[in-house]
Structure 1
Amino acid sequence: MRVTKKIKEEQIRILGEVYKDTKPALIFRNPFELLIAVILSAQCTDKRVNVTTARLFQKAATPEAILSLGLAALEEEIRDCGLFRNKAKNIMATCQILCEQYGGEVPADFAKLQELPGVGRKTANVVMSVGFNAPAIAVDTHVFRVSNRLKLAAGDTPLAVEQGLMKAIPKDKWSAAHHWLIWHGRNICKARKPLCGKCPLADVCPTAIDFQPSP
């Protein structure tokens, strides 16, 4: 199947129709809590992160409070998130910068976000999109996989896929489409065993036939 502009538009339409009511899986109350949650989500499930942040934010929910908590105590609070020592180090350093340079607030600036320890392009895009309602597309493993399988935006790197999605999807739908692709990857287009037989996009997916069971 050759994925034309018309097919991509249909893919986007179906995704929007199926996942229009989805919301971010991470639980947060403000951009700072979102930032910390996304840092913790690396190689960790959103469900586990939500358990961890619910406990952490009861004790420390601001950059100042986390600095007062101290590195050792922070490590204990986030231990069950995996890679906790490195994450704790980055969170402490990020909180220090937020306090010293931004008055304890998270900057609503993509470039400044990427300068924070533990914050890469994906995390910065999530914070801009979800925390500040700015048009952005964050490419995680789900978005990367689904985009390539649909050929909605094919690429060998997250940046290439991000750039392809920005061309394929209208700008006013970037942030929403990011969530549509994530939920589709979690629910249907799974890494090892995609559920092509149940997929609403099967008729407009060039790789669906590859995953169909033999008769």
Structure 2
Amino acid sequence: MRKQERADWILQRLTELYPAPPIPLDHRDPYTLLVAVLLSAQCTDKMVNTVTPALWELADNPLDMSQRKEEEILSVIRRLGLAPRKSKAIKGLSQILVDEHQGQVPADMEQLERLPGVGHKTASVVMAQAFGAPAFPVDTHIHRLAQRWGLTNGKNVKQTEADLKALFPAETWNLLHLQIIYYGREFCSARGCDGTRCEICRTLYPSRKKPFVANKP
């Protein structure tokens, strides 16, 4: 298969497997989604979902969160990786939302990326999942699978994002991001598949015998 043929087949198969994939992070609105995505850095969504109910009890909007002390936020999220840095970022971005955005999460990529602790991937998730804007968030898992499936040469996540956007129609990006995540977790995880075991890897590369070693981002 050529690269575009691989992409077309992947899109068809993932749509069959996951026609309506849910957002894996529990949230109530754009603000709680933004905070949850920030918390998910170097941490599983499942773990994030165990701490956010208590965090929303502490504060579930920018005004209330901005009035909490960093130590209060930290006490709730302490079991997550990078908790001190994340608590500082949550406090800081909440204050900025109150001071500069009338307490609302801006539906603008550039303004989101200016918030403390919010990188391009986090901003992309919020734009896609909270506001429905076409975006293709690429984390390390999508980066790895895109390489396994021959969709990119995978030098970095920025290049992987550009390559995926060039291969798939914009109207598919928001769902496809989630579909790849769910497929990766279920069938093509780092340990569960080495590029030779799952259905997609075997279909795309039936003659691949040796484990595929992906480039790290």
If the length of structure 1 is used for normalisation, what is the TM-score?
0.92
Question: Does the aligned pair in 2 maintain the 1:125–1:136 contact within 8 Å?
Answer: yes
Deviation readout 1:113-154 (Å, 9 max, x if unpaired): 000000001000000000101110000111111111101233
> What's 1:203 paired with?
203
Structure 1 residues 13 and 208, CA gap change in structure 2 (3 angstroms): farther
Q: In the aligned structure 1, how far is the partner of 2:125 from the partner of 2:208?
A: 29
Matched, 1:11 2:10: yes
Residue 153 of structure 1 corresponds to which residue in structure 2? 152
Alignment correspondent of 1:115: 114
In 1, Cα distance between the equivalents of 2:205 and 2:179?
16
Indicate the residue corresponding to 1:186 in structure 2. 185
Question: Which is richer in helix?
Answer: 1
Q: Separation in 1 of the partners of 2:205 and 2:16? A: 16
Count of equivalent residues: 211
Aligned mates of 2:100, 2:84 — CA distance in 1? 24
* Aligned residue in 1 for 2:27: 28
Give the aligned CA root-mean-square deviation in angstroms: 1.8
1:198 CA drift (Å): 4.3
Question: Which residues of structure 2 form unaligned runs of 5+?
Answer: 213-217
Query: Distance between the aligned counterparts of 1:66 and 1:91, measured in 2?
Result: 8
Q: Distance in 1 between matches of 2:177 and 2:109?
A: 17
Cα distance in 2 for partners of 1:84, 1:28 equals 19
Mapped partners of 1:207, 1:83: distance in 2: 42
Deviation at 1:23, TM superposition (A): 1.1
Corresponding letter in the other structure for 1:147: A
Contact residue 3 and residue 150 of structure 2 kept, 8 A = no
Aligned-pair identity in percent equals 36
Which amino acid counterpart does residue 203 of structure 1 have in structure 2? T
Decide whether aligned partners of structure 1 residues 92 and 113 sit closer, same or farther in structure 2, where only a CA change above 3 A counts: same
Q: Give unpaired runs (5+ residues) of structure 1.
A: none
